[in-house]
Amino acid sequence: MSIIYTPEKKLFTLHTAGSTWQMKVGRYGHLLHAYYGKKVEDMDLSCLIREMNRGFCGVPYEAGEERGYSLDTLPQEYPAFGVGDYRTACLHAVHEDGSQAAELRYVSHRIYDGRYQLPGLPSVRASRTETQTLEILLRDKSSELEVVLYYGVLEQADVITRACRIQNRGKTPIRLLRALSCCVDLPDGNMDLITFHGRHAMERNVQRTRIPHGRLSAGSTRGTSSHQSNPFVILCDPDAGEDWGNCCGMTFVYSGNFLAEAETDQTDQTRIVMGIHPDGFCWTLEEGDTFVTPEVILTFRPDGLGPLSRTLHDLYREHLIPRRFLEKRRPILLNNWEVTEFDFTEEKLLSLAESAAGLGMELFVMDDGWFGERNHDKSGLGDWTANRAKLPSGLRGFSEKLRNLSMKFGIWIEPEMVNEDSALFRAHPDWCLQVPGRSPNLERCQLVLDLSRQNVRDYLFDCISKVLDESQASYVKWDMNRNLSDVWSAALPASRQGEVSHRYVLGLYELMERLTGTYPDILWEGCSGGGGRFDAGILCYMPQIWCSDNTDAVERTRIQYGTSFGYPICAVGAHVSAGINQQTGRQVPLETRAEVAMAGTFGYEMDVQRLDASEQEQVRRQIQNYIRFEHIIRLGDYYRLTSPDTDETLAAWQFVAKDRTESLVSIVALHPKANPPFRRIRLKGLEEHAVYRIDGEDQVWKGSALMYAGLPVPPLWGDYQSCHFYIRRL
Ligand code: GLA
């Protein structure tokens, strides 16, 4: 049993393979948090919920003289605003009389096998035997507002998931100004929060901050999960590192506005909450209405950030990313974006594709520019029919010609967007998000379609289906090239405008569900100007996401390093691009560009017709290598061997097959030095007593030698050289 209720103590205990979560109904009915951490056997830990009169900390009315029973200091499962807990809250409700208070108390609970349902939202998948659910019903003491807390325990996967359903059982409306998904209250202070910040073309930089007194938040109000901040954070001990220390990952399964907010409170306890960002959010619950929050995945590891990442990677592969993609190798593709941008003809693309096929590539992706009047980024979005000037034989004819070259066909779309200069906008100017009487903020000359509207979604479903039927595409890159602003929907009354951002995301999920469900054999890749929507929500529909518009291999080592903390390598879209990089002008050897792209889905985005004979040979070899190793990359364990924050000279990472019989180690020189110190790299994840051989070498190694003594790094002379070692157990 992974969920245990002890009635005499009103104690709930949740066990995963390696962690325990415990909570207790307090003597006045509040749901108090007792413990989250390394697995503890059969023990009532509610002694950790301590009471002390702290002064200036009020108590619930009935507690009277029990001045230590203060919601201001007690650890809670789902804190609400307005009744004496001044820390960051999960719930902020406004009643019809204008009062802003909710004091949630335990009513009942239910434990069952299988998963709770979150209608319209993506979430972790698991069979009835893999998971149990605990539902706890809380009710506001003085109104008919109810909250059902969901706890999903995936014992073997070693995670707990949380979400909740907020319901109005009364007759008068309730407005929700904040409806977050979860709270973790820990008794210790002095903890670190690791967040992943960035910008376009430089996503998921790792930032580690001591959680201060006062609030520390990461979040997005951009309508998407964003380049600037990622909906994944890690709470950890100040001394936690790759292979040691307590850490707790929190992943938000959502692609829109989010908030992860932590604080150290007045008595040095730590609180962290996660959910939809309250800025601009206002959701009205009429009589009988419910609001369901997105899911948070909680992962606890007592042994460091590396194990935390690997637990998450496994979870994504087993329980989040559609399974049908995990079992297959992804095709090696050529994408034309960095080669041609908008300037291409069918002839040009076919000759590129022919050269690519000759090198061993399997899929040709026609990126932006194939439709409507799309000759630059100022027009055409919304008009999803082939531009006959560029594609005289249309999508059907073009893809047939590709197939005759033994190439599969992939296509780029950006369904959520419209240019003012498009037939779609001229026909339906009210279909986009904008505020009447205001000129909307423009990004890349485009506006966002109002996906909260069913008719807009139906239109998009029909025209994208037509594109897919006609083109017989086997891969689709779903892009999204701006943030939301001027969020206002012509289809909703004034009182409901605070719901639009979330309704947009629900609409997006519905459209993704319909399209990916109707075309399950298509390989879908998410994208938002690179990694602007790299999140667990998208990965529930699409197995991979274009990681960044920055294809500079050296910069990518940092971006992919940061991404690997929360996301599996099989989800990371990575391509080999031109010798002089388009984003930075840096020159990186072809071998190194491929080495870095191998830590992802692997493809090319360069003019393969300009390769000389020896480069062509290199590319052929790279493709063969990738095909040889990709099962370890897609299915194996990933180890970060260096950190860009502490190592300016090398970047190294390692894949190890689950049965530890094979491993691939990649090393990239970031900064060649004169008269350099000798370096060795200590490998990880091998079997200590097993004997391994490095491909191409006669010497054999014990696993322990590779892991504890380390592998000597060969001299890497010149800019950004790289090498890899393929290691096999004998
Ligand atoms: C975004 C994507 C790129 C490319 C362009 C096309 O920036 O991330 O890969 O598809 O759009 O406009």
CATH code of 711's domain = 2.60.40.1180
Q: Is there a single domain that holds both residue 290 and residue 355?
A: no
Residue 139: CB atoms within 10 A of its CB come to: 20
Q: What residues contact residue 168 under an 8 Å CB cut-off, 6+ apart? A: 144, 145, 146, 174, 285, 286, 287, 288, 289, 290
Nearest CA to ligand 1 atom 2: 529
Domain boundary among 296, 319, 342: 319
In a domain, 75, yes or no: yes
- Residue 86: domain span: 3-319
* List 346, 414, 420, 535, catalytic entry: 535
**480-490: average pLDDT:** 98
pLDDT of residue 470: 98
pLDDT tens digits for range 593-634: 999 999 999 999 999 999 999 999 999 999 999 999 999 999
Q: For the chain, what is the total number of helices (H) and then of strands (E)?
A: 13, 39
Contact 152, 162 (CB under 8 A): yes
Q: Are strands 91-94 and 31-38 parallel, antiparallel or unpaired?
A: unpaired
Q: Is there a single domain that holds both residue 72 and residue 119?
A: yes
Q: Is there a single domain that holds both residue 307 and residue 230?
A: yes
pLDDT of residue 157: 98
In a domain, 643, yes or no: no
The yes-or-no verdict on residue 5 having pLDDT over 90 is: yes
Q: Is there a single domain that holds both residue 273 and residue 413?
A: no
CATH number at residue 53: 2.70.98.60
If one residue of 224, 335, 337 were mutated to test the ligand 1 pocket, choosing by the most ligand atoms within 8 A of its CB, it would be: 337
pLDDT of residue 1: 78
Burial (Cβ within 10 Å: 0-12, 13-18, ≥19) of residue 187: middle
pLDDT of residue 660: 98
In a domain, 255, yes or no: yes
If one residue of 343, 376, 475, 479 were mutated to test the ligand 1 pocket, choosing by the most ligand atoms within 8 A of its CB, it would be: 479
Domain boundary among 286, 319, 352: 319
Contact 292, 119 (CB under 8 A): yes
Query: What residues form DSSP beta bridges with 700?
Result: 693
**Quick one: which H or E segment has residue 196?**
strand 192-199
Q: Is there a single domain that holds both residue 282 and residue 370?
A: no
Q: Is there a single domain that holds both residue 247 and residue 363?
A: no
Kindly give the distance from the C-alpha atom of residue 411 to the centroid of ligand 1, in angstroms, as a whole number: 12
Residue 582: CB atoms within 10 A of its CB come to: 17
Please tell me the total count of domains within the chain. 3
pLDDT band at 42 (very low <50, low <70, confident <90, very high): confident
The mean pLDDT of the chain is 98
- Cα 247 to Cα 307: distance, rounded to the nearest angstrom: 10
In a domain, 71, yes or no: yes
In a domain, 87, yes or no: yes
pLDDT tens digits for range 400-421: 999 999 999 999 999 999 999 9
Pocket of ligand 1 (CB under 6 A): 337, 367-368, 412, 479, 481, 527, 529-530, 546, 549
**308-331: average pLDDT:** 96
In a domain, 661, yes or no: yes
Kindly give the distance from the C-alpha atom of residue 474 to the centroid of ligand 1, in angstroms, as a whole number: 19
- The proportion of the chain whose per-residue pLDDT surpasses 70, expressed as a percent, equals 100
**426-444: average pLDDT:** 97
Kindly give the distance from the C-alpha atom of residue 412 to the centroid of ligand 1, in angstroms, as a whole number: 9
Is 615 among the residues known to form the active site? yes
In a domain, 296, yes or no: yes
Q: Is there a single domain that holds both residue 315 and residue 336?
A: no
Nearest CA to ligand 1 atom 11: 529
* List 66, 615, 687, 719, catalytic entry: 615
Q: Is there a single domain that holds both residue 340 and residue 305?
A: no
Q: Is there a single domain that holds both residue 299 and residue 250?
A: yes
Is 155 among the residues known to form the active site? no
Nearest CA to ligand 1 atom 1: 529
Of 366, 387, 206, 234, the closest CA to residue 301 belongs to 234
Contact 299, 312 (CB under 8 A): yes
pLDDT tens digits for range 526-563: 999 999 999 999 999 999 999 999 999 999 999 999 99
Of 512, 443, 524, the closest CA to residue 484 belongs to 443
pLDDT tens digits for range 269-317: 999 999 999 999 999 999 999 999 999 999 999 999 999 999 999 999 9
Q: What residues contact residue 396 under an 8 Å CB cut-off, 6+ apart? A: 470, 471, 472
Q: Is there a single domain that holds both residue 92 and residue 134?
A: yes
Nearest atom in ligand 1 to the alpha carbon of residue 528 is 8
Q: Is 333 helix (H, G, I), strand (E, B) or coil?
A: strand
Q: Is there a single domain that holds both residue 301 and residue 410?
A: no
